[in-house]
C-alpha cells in the first residue's frame, strides 16, 4: 500500500503490543494513519511497538476484562478528539477450555474481553464515526468461530458471537459509509501460539490438517486488515474472510 494511503486517518488497534495486532498497527502507520496502539497495561512491549511505528503513534491502555476500563477508554478518546475512523477489534483472551472442563468464571472472562468489550466500543464510537460519514471496523475473529475445536470450544463460541455482531453492525452502518468486516485467522505463528507449536509432533499433526501445510504469519493477517481499512475496500462490508491456508474448509 502506498505510504500516504491512510494519511489523515486515525486508527485504534486493540491488542497491538504483539502478534497480529502489532503487525496490523505497524502497517497502518506505514500507510500514513495516526495509530493508537493498545495494551492491557503500560509495559515495555507496548512502548517498543509505538517506538517502532514512530511518527504520530500513541499508546493507550485498558484491561478488556474490566468493562468499566473499556468504557473509560472510549470516553477518553471522545474527550480528546481521538475517535478513530479505523477501529481494529483485535484484543482477545484465549484458554484451552471446552465443554469437558467448562469453567463458568473462565467463560465469563473470555466473553467480557472478546465480545462485550467490542459491544461497548461500538456503542460509544460508532455514533462518532457516523458524524464523519466514513469508517472502517475490522474484527479479528478466528477460524475456530466457523470450525469447532473441542479444546477451544468456549473461545470459539466467543468468536462466533463476534461474527454475528459484525454482521449486524455492517447492516446498520452501511448507509453511513462505514464498512464492517471480519478476518478469520487460522494457525498463525505468534507468541500466543509459540508454546503449543514448540511441540514438534503436535506442530506436524497440525500442519497436516492445513491444506497449505504451513502456518500463517501475523503480517499476512495485517495485509488483509490494511486493505480492508483502505478506500480500495469501500464496497466490501459484512464479509468474513479466512486467513487460514484452507483450514476452514
For the annotated catalytic residues, the residue numbers are 155
C-alpha to C-alpha distance for 170 and 152, rounded to whole angstroms: 27
End-to-end CA distance of the chain: 29
Kindly state the helix (H) or strand (E) to which residue 36 belongs, with its residue range.
strand 34-39
Cell representation of residue 114:
472478546
Give the position of cell 502456518: 215
C-alpha to C-alpha distance for 54 and 62, rounded to whole angstroms: 21
C-alpha to C-alpha distance for 69 and 169, rounded to whole angstroms: 23
Q: How many helical (H) and strand (E) elements, i.e. helices and strands, does the chain have?
A: 9, 7
C-alpha to C-alpha distance for 158 and 97, rounded to whole angstroms: 12
Q: Which residue in 174, 162, 227 sits closest to 1, CA to CA?
A: 227
Amino acid at each position: 500500500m502506498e505510504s500516504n494511503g491512510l494519511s489523515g486517518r486515525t486508527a485504534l488497534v486493540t491488542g497491538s503490543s504483539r502478534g497480529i495486532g502489532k503487525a496490523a498497527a505497524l502497517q497502518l502507520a506505514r500507510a500514513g494513519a495516526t495509530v493508537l496502539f493498545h495494551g492491557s497495561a503500560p509495559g515495555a512491549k507496548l512502548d517498543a511497538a509505538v517506538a517502532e511505528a514512530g511518527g504520530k503513534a500513541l499508546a493507550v491502555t485498558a484491561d478488556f476484562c474490566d468493562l468499566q476500563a473499556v468504557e473509560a477508554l472510549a470516553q477518553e478518546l471522545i474527550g480528546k478528539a481521538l475517535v478513530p475512523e479505523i477501529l481494529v477489534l483485535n484484543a482477545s483472551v484465549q484458554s484451552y477450555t471446552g465443554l469437558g472442563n467448562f469453567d463458568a468464571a473462565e467463560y465469563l472472562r473470555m466473553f467480557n474481553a472478546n465480545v462485550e468489550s467490542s459491544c461497548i466500543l461500538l456503542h460509544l464510537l460508532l455514533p462518532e464515526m457516523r458524524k464523519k460519514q466514513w469508517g472502517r471496523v475490522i474484527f479479528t475473529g478466528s477460524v475456530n468461530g466457523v470450525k469447532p475445536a473441542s479444546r477451544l470450544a468456549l473461545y470459539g463460541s466467543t468468536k462466533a458471537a463476534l461474527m454475528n455482531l459484525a454482521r449486524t453492525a455492517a447492516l446498520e452502518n452501511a448507509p453511513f459509509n462505514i464498512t464492517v468486516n471480519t478476518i478469520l485467522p487460522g494457525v498463525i505463528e505468534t507468541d500466543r501460539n509459540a508454546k503449543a507449536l514448540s511441540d514438534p509432533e503436535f506442530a506436524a499433526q497440525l500442519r497436516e490438517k492445513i491444506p497449505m501445510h504451513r502456518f500463517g504469519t501475523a503480517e499476512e493477517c495485517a495485509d488483509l486488515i490494511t486493505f480492508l481499512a483502505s478506500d480500495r475496500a469501500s464496497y466490501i462490508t459484512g464479509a468474513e474472510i479466512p486467513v487460514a491456508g484452507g483450514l476452514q474448509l
